[in-house]
């Protein structure tokens, strides 16, 4: 049985890349790289909400 690398090769390469990506993802989860990922977005949102309120009061008080 002859395996044609021109036909099977791209599928093997895609399989190897996807397995590599899966291994990196699992390593990241197990090492805790994704813990606290939402903290930065929550701090940003709280700052934006706080900035909007202070700007509105400062403009209203100045009029």
7-42 pLDDT, tens digit per residue, is 888 999 999 999 999 999 999 999 998 888 888 888
Parse the chain into domains and list their residue ranges. Answer: 1-32, 37-63
pTM for the whole structure: 0.56
The four Cα atoms 28, 30, 32, 35 give a dihedral, to 10 degrees, of 90
pLDDT value at residue 7: 86
For residues 34 and 28, is the Cβ–Cβ distance under 8 A?
Answer: yes
Cα 63 to Cα 54: distance, rounded to the nearest angstrom:
15
pLDDT value at residue 36: 83
Any idea which of 12-21, 38-47, 50-59 has the lowest mean pLDDT?
50-59
pLDDT exceeds 80 at position 52: no
């Amino acid at each position: 049985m002859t395996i044609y690398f021109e036909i099977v090769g791209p599928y093997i390469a895609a399989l190897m890349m996807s397995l590599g990506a899966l291994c990196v993802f699992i390593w990241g989860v197990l090492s805790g790289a994704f813990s606290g990922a939402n903290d930065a977005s929550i701090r940003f949102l709280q700052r934006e909400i706080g900035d909007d309120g202070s700007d509105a009061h400062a403009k209203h008080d100045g009029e």
